Amino acid sequence: MDLQELTQHMHAFVRAKGWYESDSARPQTLRNLAISLNLEAAEVLEHFQWNGALDDSAALAEELADVALYLLQIASIAGIDLEAAVLAKLDKNYQRIWDTPKAEE
């Protein structure tokens, strides 16, 4: 399954819950989705809050899936081709240098 198919499945779920309706208690605005993405990303951090070991990979997988779903939805609603954006960012990152030696003084 590719990102477009995953996006379609995500939209089908959101529609089935009625969250795209104008009177939804969970309006699917870019702002609300960005906040939700951040909250879900914080839940990923909770798995490593007190130690560096992964204790529950199934629970972590669920949180990562939540993050991915919000990313897909934000990109789709914003009209961004997430696959193209990721590939473009990788190309850009290949040109970057993070660890440059310090100049001797």
Q: pLDDT (tens digit, 9 = 90+) per residue, 36-65?
A: 999 999 999 999 999 889 999 999 999 999
Closest CA to 34 of 90, 77, 86: 77
Q: What is the mean pLDDT of residues 58-86?
A: 97
28 domain-assigned: yes
For 50, the token pair is 């007190």
CATH number for the domain harbouring residue 74: 1.10.287.1080
Q: Is 38 within a domain?
A: yes
Q: Using CA atoms, how far apart are residues 103 and 105, in angstroms rounded to an integer? A: 6
Let me know if residue 88 belongs to a domain.
Answer: yes
Q: Is the pLDDT of residue 20 over 90?
A: yes
Per-residue pLDDT at 104? 66
Residue 105 has what pLDDT?
58
Instruction: Kindly state whether residue 101 falls inside one of the protein's structural domains.
Output: no
Q: Does residue 102 lie in a domain region?
A: no
In a domain, 51, yes or no: yes
Q: How confident is the model at residue 100 (pLDDT cuts 50, 70, 90)?
A: confident
Let me know if residue 105 belongs to a domain: no
Tally the domains of the chain.
Answer: 1
- What are the tens digits of pLDDT across the range 27-44? 999 999 999 999 999 999
Tell me if 104 is assigned to some domain.
no
Concatenated DSSP letters of 30-52: HHHHHHHHHHHHHHHHHTTSS-S
Residues spanned by the domain of 87: 3-95
